[in-house]
Amino acid sequence: EMRAFEYQADSLKDKIILVTGAGDGIGKVAALTYAKCGATVLLLGKTQSKLEAVYDEIESLGLAEPAILPLDLEKASFAQMQELANLIEKEFGHLDGVLHNAAILGALTPLEMYDPITFEQVMRVNSTAVFMLTQSLIPLLRAAQSGSVVFTSSSVGTKPRAFWGAYALSKQSVEGMTTIFTQETQNMTALRFNCINPGATRTNMRAHAFPGEDPYTLKTPEDIMSVYVYLMTDSASGVKGQVVDCQPK
Ligand code: NDP
């Protein structure tokens, strides 16, 4: 059972794992946890100072030296993502895992009134950039012994709901990507695509979506790390095309 998986200091030993949105929220805790499990983490995110703070925390714990990759997924071109892949290739030669965690909420409003510019921003960060980055990194993941791509959905990605607008649509798209990439690589034993639905978790995004809610009633990012680590381990090499709910109903 992956939700009860107990990770250890060597669970991800010598793995190289890229985390998007690594400066805050769930991504920050995932990056720190991966480092604590022995991985070299590549910290991708928008706000450089946040990435530097995560870098410093990992350094102060004496863990494998991380790398900082500042990139605005809303503005970044496909060429920039390929450049990033080339950089990783030069430095490390391969990539064992990618956690696509970065996302924006956009507006919670009826589609009839949804601002088209916000719509495009949300689709760009949460879906188009996820596709472009995945495509750019696949050669490096194929070069790994067992490459793991983990997308991040939401309950409204599995089942869209009124007022969740572009966010819900972008997450549906990510679940679709999980299925399509899985089918298209089904003859490759050394590459897998899965998706995590973290469920209600105590972060800034959740607080924006539910301003009236007491954050202390929610589980923390730390509480859901079993699944995040498990999917990156070799024990999960046979797990493919799944949407894993961290908060089973
Ligand atoms: P946060 O808003 O706390 O963190 C999001 C992270 O994504 C930040 O580090 C942010 O960087 C980064 N990011 C946003 N825009 C960009 C961009 N243009 N380029 C690069 N990085 C960017 O969100 P959570 O931690 O709550 O969410 C993490 C994931 O989990 C998301 O995919 C979210 O949809 C999903 N999720 C969360 C739930 C929850 O209850 N928290 C529930 C269901 C799903 P910066 O701070 O620099 O802007």
Contact present, 103 and 152 (Cβ < 8 Å): yes
pLDDT at residue number 248:
65
- Provide the token pair at 27: 């991504």
Report the DSSP beta bridge partners of residue 158.
none
d(CA 77, ligand 1 centre) in Å: 20
Q: Which of 150, 101, 97 is nearest to 126 (CA)?
A: 101
pLDDT at residue number 43:
98
d(CA 71, ligand 1 centre) in Å: 14
pLDDT at residue number 2:
87
3-class SS of residue 120: helix
Q: Is 34 a catalytic residue?
A: no
Contact present, 221 and 3 (Cβ < 8 Å): no
Ligand 1 atom 24: residue of nearest CA: 25
Q: How, if at all, do strands 191-197 and 40-45 pair?
A: unpaired
**pTM of the entire predicted model:** 0.98
Alpha-carbon distance of 194 to 98, in angstroms, equals: 11
Task: Using the Cα atoms of residue 28, residue 52, residue 96 and residue 135 in order, give the sign of their dihedral.
Answer: positive
Q: Which of 27, 29, 1, 12 is nearest to 223 (CA)?
A: 29
d(CA 19, ligand 1 centre) in Å: 11
Contact present, 86 and 60 (Cβ < 8 Å): no
pLDDT in tens, the chain (249 residues): 788 899 999 999 999 999 999 999 999 999 999 999 999 999 999 999 999 999 999 999 999 999 999 999 999 999 999 999 999 999 999 999 999 999 999 999 999 999 999 999 999 999 999 999 999 999 999 999 999 999 999 999 999 999 999 999 999 999 999 999 999 999 888 999 999 999 999 999 999 999 999 999 999 999 999 999 999 999 999 999 999 999 765
pLDDT at residue number 247:
74
Within 8 A by CB and 6+ apart from 216, the residues are 202
pLDDT tens-digit map of 224-245: 999 999 999 999 999 999 999 9
Alpha-carbon distance of 35 to 155, in angstroms, equals: 28
Q: Alpha helices of 144-196 — where are they, by DSSP H?
A: 155-158, 165-184
- Provide the token pair at 154: 């939401």
3-class SS of residue 201: strand
With a 6 Å cutoff on the Cβ, whether 74 touches ligand 1 is yes
Burial class (CB in 10 A: 0-12, 13-18, 19+), 93: exposed
Ligand 1 atom 10: residue of nearest CA: 21
Contact present, 41 and 58 (Cβ < 8 Å): yes
Task: Using the Cα atoms of residue 19, residue 25, residue 74 and residue 210 in order, give the sign of their dihedral.
Answer: positive
Alpha-carbon distance of 26 to 214, in angstroms, equals: 18
Catalytic pick among 114, 167, 228, 230: 167
